[in-house]
Structure 1
Amino acid sequence: MGAYWVTVLDVTIPILLTVLAGVAIGRWRRTDTRSVADVAMYVLAPGLVLHALVGGDTGGEALAVAEFTLVNLAVLWAISAVTGRLLRFTRSQRAALALTTLFSNAVNYGLPVCLLAFGQTGYRQAALYVVGQSFLLFSLGVYLASAGTRGPAAALAEVRRTPVIYAALAAAIMAALGWHWPGGLDSALGLLADAYPALALMVLGLQLSKTDWRQGLTGLPLWTGVALRLVAAPLVAKAALWALGIHGTLASVLFVEAAMPAAVNAAVFVEQFGGERSQVAMTVAITTAISFFTLPWLVIAS
């Protein structure tokens, strides 16, 4: 079996089935999607960050990963802002566009792909990218999601109430001091970390179960978001890697992570804070569905 079909069967099919499970439970049961999103954002996500950061060996690659992450995000943000203004999107539509353009599904999708394609070395490098993007996602991402329906002050207040920010800061201090979690606590955090991807994907499924597909599949903001995430994002990533002089396996890993479909967390955030729910959920769903076919080729080309 070729590498393409191995990637499809071992990575993308499990993700698709988990999303469909969320769709099914949303159709058959009266489920409070926001409560499920609260569990993912306020309990499982901090556990994931604390478990991933403490005790990890970042090595000299951390600086290169940080540089790439910031440059890549800045360029994508500029492209998203200019595009939204030129197309005369509303404030909430521009916020949703930025949310799905800037942040890729690096955790739930990217980590398994990198493990399969590049082995343990690639997985470790991908984890560095995930930590940086998680910090930005749960700070800037929360701000963007909140700013879509609230003013800047209220959006910043939501960022301050986001526990992942404090979890990342605490974990960074512990890692710098060389501290480790006691065995039992580390195991508990590991359970939370392992539970997060599946629950985040099911939140997406729950949102999709309540989406009017006839209305959801139309609209310029939606397809603009799809184009920016699947076309512009990989091109920007390649350019950033070239400009920063990053090569080898690290470059391949960063390219694949940056080329992932829109982050599932974007759907979690708009469920939590309001905004263009249909636009974000459908952008995540469509980019994920298309990536089932395109991402294996990106892995091969990386």
Structure 2
Amino acid sequence: MNLDLGGTLIAPLWMLLAYVGLGVVCARWLALEARPIATLLIYLIAPLTAFRGLTLGGPTLGYLMLTLGTFVAASLVAMLANRLAQRWFAPQEAAVLAFSAGTGNTGYFGLPVAMVLLPAEGVTIYLFCMLGVTLYEFTVGFYLSARGRFSVRQSLVKIARLPLIYAFVAALLASGVGLSVPAGVMDGLAVFPATYTLLGMMVIGMTLGRVTIREVDGRFIAACVALRYGLWPLLAGLAVLGLQATLGIDEQLALALLLVGVVPMAANVVVVAMELNIRPEKGAIAVLITTLMAPLLIPLYLWLLMRIAGLA
């Protein structure tokens, strides 16, 4: 696979950063609040986006194994990070760090990039990898975040109220029984992926628009950067090399997995922290820094990892 990664990625990456800038403008000059938009993303836009993606992708056993694999990997990394973070950070900071450790901006950020780098079949593969990360965010990740402030029972109740889980199950059931969603409904749902990206990135900017300098925590930011741009690229590279040696995966799947590993911190770190009221401003600063690093690091990481994996 021979790609001009820098030239291919630079325009979509900077466009996503422009959405963050729009969010700052909305917070500072229009006095808009990010919290209602975060709630809208969690309870409406994310579930409908996931439902549409699953339905269009036509979930097969192979695709669902990708979803399961990324879900398990994200959950294990988050649980390990949670145990370590509790020793060094206050409960709410540890909860945000644990959530961020298991996820990346595979949706708002990674999906537009995947649509540039991959053909249609490759985008479907990436989508099912992304859904595993998204499922982690609204199950294990949401639970770990909620435990930074709520009891076990309260945290489980909050998870039970999340519609994304039910949207995921509904899409699988519809596919399993051969029920097709009417074309008119699917056409109506087509607006949600772009809305998901736009509002998700704007929430980061709207949160940053109200952040003061004293809320910058160098230790917390360093931990987030190390996890996102240190641990995850290593795990993605090892996963691709291991799968190539055992299952002989193709280039599209390999690139999809590598992309999951090199995206910046998830915007949903801010969205979930805002919904649970657990220090969203700290998450927003760390997300912005890793996102600003993305135009340089993503092409570099992908080029290096693709060479190691024999894809370039």
- Distance in 2, matches of 1:118 and 1:36, equals 30
Summarize the Cα distance change of 1:265–1:107 in structure 2 as closer, same or farther, 3 Å threshold: same
- Distance in 1, matches of 2:185 and 2:68, equals 32
SS at match of 1:187: helix
Match of 2:110 in 1: 110
Cα shift at 1:300: 2.2
Summarize the Cα distance change of 1:67–1:154 in structure 2 as closer, same or farther, 3 Å threshold: closer
Q: What letter matches 1:12 in structure 2?
A: L
- Distance in 2, matches of 1:167 and 1:59, equals 17
Summarize the Cα distance change of 1:237–1:288 in structure 2 as closer, same or farther, 3 Å threshold: same
Matched, 1:18 2:19: yes
Match of 2:293 in 1: 290
Q: What letter matches 2:256 in structure 1?
A: V
SS at match of 1:142: helix
Cα displacement string for residues 103-132 of structure 1 (whole angstroms, at most 9, x for unaligned residues) = 111111112222222222321110111222
Matched, 1:76 2:77: yes
Matched, 1:135 2:135: yes
Report % sequence identity.
Answer: 24
Matched, 1:257 2:260: yes
SS at match of 1:256: helix
- Distance in 2, matches of 1:12 and 1:256, equals 13
- Distance in 1, matches of 2:153 and 2:274, equals 20
Q: What letter matches 1:98 in structure 2?
A: A
Match of 2:218 in 1: 219
Note the aligned Cα RMSD (angstroms): 2.0
Q: What letter matches 2:62 in structure 1?
A: E
Matched, 1:266 2:269: yes
Cα shift at 1:191: 2.1
Equivalent residues in 2 for 1:41-52, closer than 5 Å: 41-52=42-53
- Distance in 2, matches of 1:277 and 1:73, equals 21
Cα shift at 1:71: 4.5
Give yes or no for contact 1:72–1:237 (8 Å, CA) kept in 2: no
Match of 2:232 in 1: 233
Cα displacement string for residues 18-77 of structure 1 (whole angstroms, at most 9, x for unaligned residues) = 110001110102212211212222121111011111142344532541353144224422
Equivalent residues in 2 for 1:202-217, closer than 5 Å: 202-212=202-212, 214-217=213-216
Summarize the Cα distance change of 1:67–1:193 in structure 2 as closer, same or farther, 3 Å threshold: closer
Give yes or no for contact 1:266–1:280 (8 Å, CA) kept in 2: yes
Cα shift at 1:169: 0.8
Gaps of 5+ in 2: 307-312
Q: What letter matches 1:282 in structure 2?
A: I
Q: Which runs of 4+ in 1 moved over 6 A?
A: none
Match of 2:310 in 1: none
When normalised by structure 2's length, the TM-score is 0.89
Match of 2:148 in 1: 148
When normalised by structure 1's length, the TM-score is 0.91
- Distance in 2, matches of 1:60 and 1:236, equals 23
Cα displacement string for residues 76-100 of structure 1 (whole angstroms, at most 9, x for unaligned residues) = 22541343145x2122121111111
Match of 1:162 in 2: 162
Q: Which range moved further: 148-157 or 77-86?
A: 77-86
Cα displacement string for residues 150-193 of structure 1 (whole angstroms, at most 9, x for unaligned residues) = 11211111111111111111111111222221122112222233
- Distance in 1, matches of 2:36 and 2:179, equals 34
Q: Which range moved further: 184-193 or 42-51?
A: 184-193
Match of 1:4 in 2: 6
- Distance in 1, matches of 2:149 and 2:281, equals 14
Q: What letter matches 2:110 in structure 1?
A: G
Give yes or no for contact 1:76–1:233 (8 Å, CA) kept in 2: no
Q: What letter matches 2:5 in structure 1?
A: A
Summarize the Cα distance change of 1:81–1:141 in structure 2 as closer, same or farther, 3 Å threshold: closer
- Distance in 1, matches of 2:107 and 2:290, equals 15
Match of 1:299 in 2: 302
